[in-house]
Amino acid sequence: MNSATVPLLDDDTIAFGDEDNANKQFVHPYIVFFHLIFRGAAIVVYILCGWFSDSFIASFVLVILLLSADFWTVKNISGRLLVGLRWWNYVDDDGKSHWVFESKQVINRVNRNESRLFWMGLILCPLIWSGFFIICLFGLKFKWMLLVLIALTLNGANLYGYVKCKFGAKENLQSATTDFVKKQLLQNASSFMFAQPAPPTTGNTGVI
């Protein structure tokens, strides 16, 4: 699998990076709401499901539906609109799978409040599910551990994808800058070591 930057697909309805931003507390309040509600609801249902239902299957299916809705919303909508990041996958004509991590060029158009809530929800929820995993492990609740592992996988995939989007470009830029500096130093050192001395200047000398 390769990671690369490629042109956007032709079926995009909104050009990536063209969403308007303004000096408001929240530019996309409904997107912020749905970014948090699905993952928060999945955690709440997981905690309280034993109080309202004795059916493990019903609780399992409901939590999976909430986690799936959260994964789709975060991956395809809230990441692009709230922080200007997007990750996705495509298969080329040769059957090779490519992972693409994109970052909006104009970062200052991202609303700070929305960005904080986005990253807070993206980071805290996997930590909470990790706590549930530890509880299930020591409590020997293996059937619930399966559900927690699915939640960790879906939440962790979005977390990894967006961290890669945010810091991957900076790492590439740093690597390119380092390579450029090394190249310049080697060229300067080579020029200094193998430079030929300049021939002496000749001029008219007079005989006294």
The residue written with tokens 């239902």 in the block is 53
Q: In what order do the strands lie in the sheet with 85-91?
A: 2-3, 97-103, 85-91
What span, in angstroms and rounded, lies between the C-alpha atoms of 73 and 55?
28
- The predicted pLDDT at position 159 comes to 93
Q: Say what the pTM is.
A: 0.67
| Higher pLDDT among residues 112 and 128, named by residue | 128
Instruction: For 45-81, write each residue's pLDDT tens digit.
Output: 999 987 877 788 999 999 999 999 999 999 999 998 8
Instruction: For 22-34, write each residue's pLDDT tens digit.
Output: 456 778 889 999 9
Residue 74 has which token pair? 């975060």
